[in-house]
Amino acid sequence: MPVASIDMEETHTVERDQLPQEMLQRVFWLRERLLCWFVQHGRSFPWRELSRSTYELAVAEVLLQRTTAAGVARAFPGLIARFPTWEAMADAPLAVKIRRKFCAFGT
């Protein structure tokens, strides 16, 4: 799995076996710390369930760019129930999509 390092001028991708051992150890240490923190402090949201489809994750990502996670968490289950697939979302009249679901976010 490639590890990206951020440079102010460009982004480089290097393979794991190209990293110095000390840097690789730091990456693994940081990864472990972040995962431990998340287990203790991470919030539970409906779109984080393992059974979510690619469609549901994409909808959540778009909504999270528009408003707060708390707002999305309130409206997400109803939105997915009303529009369970790309086709259902595309077939719904635009006014219904906007008025009935997106107004629930308060934005």
3-state secondary structure 7-52: CCCCEEEECHHHCCHHHHHHHHHHHHHHHHHHHHHCCCCHHHCCCC
Range of the domain at 77: 46-105
Q: Do 54 and 93 fall into the same domain?
A: yes
Amino acid letter for position 91: D
Grouping H, G, I as helix, E, B as strand and the rest as coil, residue 4 is strand
Q: What residues are annotated to the active site?
A: 61
Q: Do 34 and 58 fall into the same domain?
A: no
Q: Do 69 and 29 fall into the same domain?
A: no
Q: Do 27 and 55 fall into the same domain?
A: no
* pLDDT of the residue at 103: 58
Q: Would you place residue 91 in the very low, low, confident or very high pLDDT band (cuts 50, 70, 90)?
A: confident
Q: Do 101 and 57 fall into the same domain?
A: yes
How many domains does the chain contain in total? 2
Residue-wise pLDDT for 33-79, tens only, equals 999 999 999 888 888 887 789 999 998 888 888 888 898 888 888 88
Q: Do 52 and 90 fall into the same domain?
A: yes
